[in-house]
Amino acid sequence: MKISTDVLFLDGLDPRFDKKYNSFLGYLFPISSVLEIYNYSFKILNITFLTDYSYKGIIASLKEVDPKVICMTTTADNISTVCTLVNKIKKEFPSIKIVLGGPQATFFDMKIMDACKCDVIVRGEGEYKLLKLLDFYIKGKGDLSNIEGITYKINDAIIKTDNDTTYIDLNELPIPQFAITSDKKYWILPNDKSQNEIDYFFDIIKHNNNVLITSRGCPYNCIFCVEGNLERSYRERSPENFAKDLEYFIESNGFNHVLIADSTFTSSPKRVNELCEVIKKVREKYNFRWFAEGRANILSKNLDLIRIMHDAGMFNLQIGVESGSEKILEIQNKKITKKQIKDVAKEVGKFNDLLLSCNFILGNPGETNETFQESISFSKELYELTNYNIVCQGGYLVPYVGTPIRDYPEKYEIEILVEDFEFKKILGYNQVICKPNNINLEELENHLSVFSSEMNAFFKSQVFNKSKAFIDQKVLFYRKFSQEQMVSNTSPWALNFISLNILQRYYSIFESTGTIKDASELSINNLYPLRLWDLNFDPNTLIYQFTNLKGENIIIDDFEKYLWESAIGKWTIIEIIQSKECLLEYNDELLSKTLNFYNKMYDNFALIFREY
């Protein structure tokens, strides 16, 4: 028997994410709560969870459902996939109405209408437009021509209604339905999946959708950004509504980390203070940390906001740096300066458990090899200023529809190399799609790899100049949050550092129960040294030596060789030097030499002390 529903939302459409069961449902949280209030039923089908994850398999699964309307959201990355899927669905189910929304459809509606057989495109916000569309298609009420902000077809004619004249008051929206990521009643699930597979699927879905939005719009107009160039005003959810949203968000999904996805969370310092008070109260009941985006121009004038957000549980603050060149920042209309960025970086560096995330755009209008080198140098400077509490990532400029660089490339002296790249399955950031006129393509194509290699070389040249205590603190911070799936484990310098196999073993043991930090913390009667590396033997000189991570050779004498071979985690320090195998007489001088040797090896990541 078919599953009947008014609306079916297709999920898992984004090819950028190679992780299993990709999902993007943040847009659906408010829409689903509105649909429930107005008594429209809906289901979600994630196409990547199908056993037969192919167009044929998707069509087969749709034969088990009876939806009146199918909805999909569009992005620059998925529009090619969406259009192909729409056409296949329409061929098999011509009577089902298909509605597209999202940023790509908003700005590219006429092109998409030509490319696929969807019935309607919703431009801009969709909560109440979708209601009117359902009223029309399901109840026969109203007329499409009276719905603002949509594009639709009548026979072969494409009709585009006027843009919205009013925008949604966010405080009139109900609490978003965050339970859609955890409650099976909202989903179409394949019959051939085991309970373990279903449980794992929902774990992934929750992790991929830990997104909470407290405002819409952006008061800035950077030339490369869609959000700030939308024709809609900046609006905020009130602290009172945010409190209800946040508590239900955590309660319904059990999140231990929250991604606040506002384009500019820090736009109003007064509001940041109010929201942080809300967060602190909710954290009294639920244990979670959170991420937010900010702007350097505002934070640099209100540096106390960083402490306030940190004290409320923020672990990751993202700011758009974009370039290390003041000239490029001005061309981008960023309205920030390098000094403001550095002020923020210094403040973040005061906290051991706060991470600053920064993005650098490569191939900007006006970019030269000199400005590119400025970005590399500035990235290195930020690592120092933040006390290495930072992740800097680079990616190529993407000319998204709806941005000034896409609409007026000649004005910004850039060349778009691939027209309508969205329909050619080209994924931005890692590929050159456009280039500035004053740099050649071959040089630009090398910039991303040069950026990465320069930063890796910088890490390796700097890391061993830091104290072991400093390195331990940074590495354990990154490991903790990456294990809790809060921080990407691909870029931070500390994770680059522990990519060495020996250090992976070191920190795995270091974190285990019973491991302590150094030999001075407890009585040596309770400490069991455990060696992690092997000694090198030179047959020509008959000398044992240890090569540390800096490449330095440390000569090992006969007594130290005995200490090293005895450090297998079975005997305490006292037992080792009082053993009959030790050929030297026990005294204070021998004990001092023993402790100095073991601590030296500990400082070189070659040994740990365990307490039992």
CATH number of the CATH domain containing 272:
3.80.30.20
Residue at which a domain ends, from 417, 438, 459: 438
How many Å is the Cα radius of gyration of the chain? 29
The answer to whether position 493 is within a domain reads no
The answer to whether position 424 is within a domain reads yes
Which residue shows structure tokens 């499409």? 144
Cβ-Cβ contacts under 8 Å for 328 (sequence gap 6 or more): 322, 364, 365, 366, 367, 371
Residues 127 and 219 in one domain: no
Residues 328 and 264 in one domain: yes
- The amino acid present at 549, given as its one-letter code, is L
Residues 155 and 215 in one domain: no
The answer to whether position 386 is within a domain reads yes
Burial 265-301 (b: 16+ CB within 10 A, else e): bbbbeebbbbbbebbeebbeeeebbbbbbbbbbbbbe
Residues 227 and 327 in one domain: yes
- The amino acid present at 291, given as its one-letter code, is F
Residues 423 and 560 in one domain: no
The answer to whether position 460 is within a domain reads no
Residues 224 and 81 in one domain: no
The answer to whether position 503 is within a domain reads no
Residue at which a domain ends, from 410, 438, 466: 438
Cβ-Cβ contacts under 8 Å for 357 (sequence gap 6 or more): 316, 317, 318, 319, 390, 391, 393
Residue at which a domain ends, from 418, 438, 458: 438
Structure confidence at residue 517 (pLDDT): 57
The answer to whether position 112 is within a domain reads yes
Residues 143 and 265 in one domain: no
Residue 388 Cα distances to 66, 155, 328, 459, 529, angstroms = 54, 60, 25, 10, 30
Which residues pair with residue 361 across a beta bridge? 395
Q: How many domains does the chain have?
A: 3
Which residues pair with residue 151 across a beta bridge? 121, 160
Q: Which two structure tokens, joined as six digits, stand for 51?
A: 């056993």
Residues 273 and 341 in one domain: yes
CATH number, domain at 46?
3.40.50.2300
Residues 57 and 133 in one domain: yes
- The DSSP output letter for 174 is P
Residues 81 and 140 in one domain: yes
The answer to whether position 374 is within a domain reads yes
Structure confidence at residue 470 (pLDDT): 84
Q: Positive or negative, the Cα torsion across 453, 396, 440, 426?
A: positive
Containing structural domain, residue 262: 210-438
Residues 66 and 152 in one domain: yes
Positions of the chain with pLDDT lower than 50, given as ranges: 17-18, 486-491
The answer to whether position 567 is within a domain reads yes
Structure confidence at residue 156 (pLDDT): 84
Residues 97 and 215 in one domain: no
